Structure 1
Amino acid sequence: MSHFSSLFTIFSSPAETFKRVKESKLAWLFPFLLLVIISLISVQLQMPATIQTTLDTLKAQPNYSAVDTDMIVQSTKVMGWVMAPLTIAFMVFLSGLVYLLLNLIVRGEAKYMQLVTMVTFAMLPSTIGGLITAVLVYTTGATSITEISLSLGALVADKESMLYHLLSIVNPFSLWGLALYVIGSSVMMNRPRKTVGIWIIGVWLIISLGSLLLV
């Protein structure tokens, strides 16, 4: 079975897919390219809302000049297109290092690039969730990206409330990705899911709940 088909089987049979791509040196490439493509599409769809938010922020500044509008718009577009692939690359390879540390803690057998491969596949659900959000932002004509949410936070009217930020943690695409991280780490490290799951889910909860303190 080809690496390309793994982009589909990762959603239907993740454990078997991770086992199949474990020893491949190039298995990370297809999901990585897909992550970049999806991110670029998302950036393009959200660009009108992003530009509007940027202009609204700058217009509130006392030294704002309408002459600078075109330059600001072009700069925003270029930054969005450039930062999307760079951000994906940074997250993938840095996350690989983080999971390599977990590999040492649980005395796993994974190699760095195996963990990079795992990360590229595990990032797909949240990236797809981002694409769906971008489509909704574009089709609804939302003036701000924050107006659209796929989490339980969408049920709360007050977007500034603590309840909204708390429920925003419960995002089906993020939870789906979290499950893939646990399954993939277990396969790559050759350790029980419970062993790696306690660490992965525990750190995720600490970061998610800790971020509420910054609100």
Structure 2
Amino acid sequence: MTSARAQAEPSRPTRQWSRTTETRGAILAAARAVFIEHGFTNANVSDVVQHSGSSVGSIYHHFGGKTELYLALCGEYQDTLHDASTQAVQELRASGERDPLQLFLAGARAYLEQAWTNQDLARVVLSGDHPPDVDAWRRQRSQDWVRENGLLLRVPESAAGRVLVLALTSLIGDAARLISETDSRREAYDVIDATLEMVRKIAG
């Protein structure tokens, strides 16, 4: 006969995983608030401790320090925009659209709209106030993004094709930065519309 304690054993990892996820989420939310308020240079792990209610040891256990917290937020920001873009492309493709440019435009719009939605974090991530480690991380993410866009646009493997994809990718990235600096939703969407129109002209 199986004891009640033995029956309860399988649920422990799930509960522990849930607590770990909750703790990481609380720490990241606190780090986000601290970096938004103080920037990277002037932020302290002690501020994150105060905002999250976690211990210094817990923060270092889950992330490793201020730089790692910042990189985690960068990843969260990029993943949010990338996921929104991917979903928009998938939905349009599911509706029957096959034109690579139309798919790219749908993904770009979703990406830039998320840049506006996450404007506060964008200002932190896209500012010049960041640890040196971010530069290498950004280069790798940029290379991955260019490669994905090349596949989506079905651009031929040539020097001209690579330049085109790089130009369009850079245009979207610069627009996201500009959106992070805007003061109103209307201005942000004017930037989005102008950016997509420029994409059409360049790629058309």
- Above 0.5 in TM-score? no
> What is the TM-score normalised by the length of structure 1?
0.30
Higher relative contact order (CA 8 A, sep 6+): 1
More helix by share: 2
